[in-house]
Amino acid sequence: QVQLVESGGGLVKPGGSLRLSCAASGFTFSDYYMSWIRQAPGKGLEWVSYISSSGSTIYYADSVKGRFTISRDNAKNSLYLQMNSLRAEDTAVYYCARDGTRGPNWFDPWGQGTLVTVSS
Amino acid sequence: QSALTQPASVSGSPGQSITISCTGTSSDVGSYNLVSWYQQHPGKAPKLMIYEGSKRPSGVSNRFSGSKSGNTASLTISGLQAEDEADYYCCSYAGSSTRVFGGGTKLTVL
């Protein structure tokens, strides 16, 4: 079955870095655009970043632009999010989600999420 | 982009119908037929319930339906069941491959 499994979350100090990974299985990963979405504790969902199937097209939310980098390795069926200059407000559960095949559309399915806590 | 506007909470009794609204602008909801709805139970990942405004994924109950008028999208749940109690989020394409979510609506089944 289609499955996404995130890893790499944890506790990091403000200004620090963290790299999240998302392992995909059960579908042809290289056919799909992928996104990262986050949810701060007790808050709503926030779209973070998006990468095309080939990796050639990338977009970021303004809140993370210049600090986060999305990438993918289609040979490893994996999606990544490199997070630098982390701030307290980046504390959230980060989900990876499968996006469209020809562009952005809807998110299905989602991974179980990985918690990132930014605190001194 | 600003978040889409949803009511913070709605409630209904078993068997009743409820509707959750999602108001955006002419730059997002009003311009694209790419509104999706997600159900999230506590401690769980969101689940797609409606895509392209009114389409249901395979496996989603036909008690769930979506619609759009102008800058406002709506999710209707008919025949409310206890298992429908959850948070619901709308999401819209907002141009340049960006997406914007609503603030979420907590549904309580009385």
Residue range A44-97, pLDDT digits in tens: 999 999 999 999 999 999 999 999 999 999 999 999 999 999 999 999 999 999
pLDDT at B69 over 90: yes
Position B74 confidence tier, pLDDT thresholds 50, 70, 90:
very high
Residues of chain A with C-beta less than 8 angstroms from the C-beta of B101: 37, 44-47
Question: For B57-78, what is the mean pLDDT?
Answer: 96
Which among B75, B93, B99 is the top mutation candidate for probing chain A, defined by the most A β-carbons within 10 Å of its own β-carbon?
A: B99
Give residues with Cβ within 8 angstroms of A108, minimum separation 6.
A97, A98, B48, B51, B57
Q: For residue B109, count other CB atoms closer than 10 A to its CB.
A: 18
Q: Which residues of A touch B (CB under 8 A)?
A: 35, 37, 44-47, 50, 57, 59, 61, 95, 103-113
Residues of chain B with C-beta less than 8 angstroms from the C-beta of A44: 3, 89, 101-104
pLDDT given at position A102: 85
B96 touches chain A (CB under 8 A): yes
Q: CB–CB of A47 and B98 under 8 A?
A: yes
Residues of chain B with C-beta less than 8 angstroms from the C-beta of A94: none
For A51, nearest residue in chain B (alpha carbons)? B97
> For B98, phi and psi rounded to 5 degrees?
-95, 160
Q: CB–CB of B91 and A45 under 8 A?
A: yes
pLDDT at B1 over 80: no
Average pLDDT, chain B: 95
Of A59, A95, A103, which has the smallest distance from its Cβ to B45's Cβ? Answer: A95
Helix (H), strand (E) at residue B88: strand B86-93
Give residues with Cβ within 8 angstroms of A62, minimum separation 6.
none
Question: For B89-103, what is the mean pLDDT?
Answer: 93
Q: Round to the nearest angstrom and report the end-to-end CA distance of chain B.
A: 35
Per DSSP, the three-state class of A31 is helix
Q: Is the omega angle on the peptide bond into residue A109 within 30 degrees of 0, that is, cis?
A: yes
Output the CA–CA distances (angstroms, integers) from residue A116 to A20, A37, A109, B8, B104, in the order listed. Answer: 9, 12, 21, 26, 21
Of B45, B57, B103, which has the smallest distance from its Cβ to A44's Cβ? Answer: B103
Question: For B57-84, what is the mean pLDDT?
Answer: 97
Helix/strand/coil percentages in chain A, nearest 5: 10, 50, 45
Distance in Å, alpha carbon of B50 to nearest chain A alpha carbon: 9
Distance in Å, alpha carbon of B101 to nearest chain A alpha carbon: 6
pLDDT at A117 over 80: yes
pLDDT at B37 over 80: yes
Give residues with Cβ within 8 angstroms of B51, minimum separation 6.
A105, A106, A108, B36, B37, B57
Question: For A98-117, what is the mean pLDDT?
Answer: 93
Beta bridge partners of A4: A24
